[in-house]
Amino acid sequence: MKTGLVYDPIYLKHDTGAHVENSQRLVATMALLEESKLLDKLTIISPRAATHEELSLVHSDHHISRVQSTSARGGGWLDGDTFASPDSYEVALYAAGGALNAVDAVMKGEVSNAFALVRPPGHHATRDQAMGFCLFNNIAIAAKYAIEKYNVERILIADFDVHHGNATEDTFYSDPNVLYFSTHQYPHYPGTGAITDDGEGEGKGANVNVPMPAYCGDAEYLRVYNEILAPIARRFKPQLMLASAGYDAHWADMLSMMELSVEGYGDIVAVIKRLAEELCQGKLLISLEGGYHLKAMPLSLRATLEVLSESPRSPDPIGKPPGDMKPYNMDSLLEQVAARHGLR
């Protein structure tokens, strides 16, 4: 079992200053991986710059040019919360290209699975617009690349960021060959991701949203992944699995009101990994999206890598959320999603 890790110090050059999505996210994560000796067990995958042609699999020329020109003139805001620094265009090329090199490593059998520890994140970046801290949609570009280069006919993307991946959904909304699955706090930014948004045309049914209310935690998430994702994945039979990893549903994260723990993240990834092993020879790439608490995010990401590499899982020094929140009754929500997608 080899687990690949995409990382390069170039990702620190996307300088967002005091913005919540900043380089310290990766600095803290790499420090923890080195301290815990987990880094020694991983196969480092060097990134490369994605080409214009590869970006164009998902994004318009206008969008690519706007990000490039904004960086070239010294940086600036691309929307109300998405910033580009002078180096951000180049860094974003390496974020997308890092995911592509990970696809290559997984598809060629050089590693069993891989994690792309990259920034800027991507799942909110639409064809024509940077938004939600995202410049280019790394996971969507990776999916399109796998289809183009390796003739993959069925890809499943699981998105466990606390925010709905609106742009990934948009990219594949009418595509029957890419099944997009998302768990997200609802209603929450960006306001998309209703149960009824289930694809269109030939892609009808290949878009699965599980909009979860605030304060859902480990038990609620695990039910969704076991009772909804698992049967849908088995029916779809993916040849490659991708995942957008957002660690902002952790109870300590300031950008959400969810109650996941570090252990809960490990359990979610364990379900996804088991499905990949069962359905597509373990071919799995996970790419970083959100997660902004500088202790919870590195710990949750370490738990992810421990699961992927089949390493012993470390104790969680943060633990469960404080207080005595009663479990949310998920029965009605799960019934609605299951009925919408023919699981009942």
- pLDDT tens digits for range 49-65: 999 999 999 999 999 99
pLDDT at site 62: 98
The overall average pLDDT reported for the chain is 97
Amino acid 327: pLDDT? 76
Task: List the single range of 2-16, 207-221, 312-326 with lowest mean pLDDT.
Answer: 312-326
Q: How confident is the model at residue 323 (pLDDT cuts 50, 70, 90)?
A: confident
CA distance linking residue 56 with residue 244, whole number of Å = 20
What 3-state DSSP class applies to 234?
A: helix
Polymer length of the chain: 344
Q: Region 24-47: what's the mean pLDDT? A: 98
Give me the pLDDT at residue 79, please. 96
CATH number listed for the domain at residues 3-340: 3.40.800.20
Q: Which uninterrupted H or E stretch holds 336?
A: helix 331-340
Q: What's the rounded mean pLDDT across residues 249-257? A: 96
Strand partners, 244: 159, 287
Active site residue 123: no
Single out the catalytic residue among 14, 59, 123, 124: 124
Domain ranges of the chain: 3-340
Q: In sequence order, which residues have a C-beta less than 8 Å from that of residue 304 and are 6 or more positions away?
A: 115, 245, 265, 266, 269, 286
The DSSP annotation for 41-98 comes to GSEEE---PPPHHHHTTTS-HHHHHHHHHHHHTT-EEEETTEEE-TTHHHHHHHHHHH
What's the pLDDT at 46? 98
pLDDT of residue 324: 66
Helix (H) / strand (E) containing 293 = none
For 76-124, the pLDDT digits (tens) are: 999 999 999 999 999 999 999 999 999 999 999 999 999 999 999 999 9
CB count within 10 Å of CB 191 equals 11
Give yes or no for residue 18 having a pLDDT over 70.
yes
Q: Over 80: is that where the pLDDT of 225 sits? A: yes
Q: How far apart are CA 157 and CA 13, in angstroms?
A: 28
For residue 344, the model assigns a pLDDT of 82
| Mean pLDDT of all residues in 288-304 | 98
Confidence category of residue 301, pLDDT binned at 50, 70, 90? very high
| CA–CA gap between residue 139 and residue 162 (Å, rounded) | 16
pLDDT, one tens digit per residue, over 185-222 is 999 999 999 999 999 999 999 999 999 999 999 999 99
Read off the pTM: 0.98
How do residues 131-157 score in pLDDT, each as one tens digit? 999 999 999 999 999 999 999 999 999
Cα(312)–Cα(340) distance, integer angstroms: 38
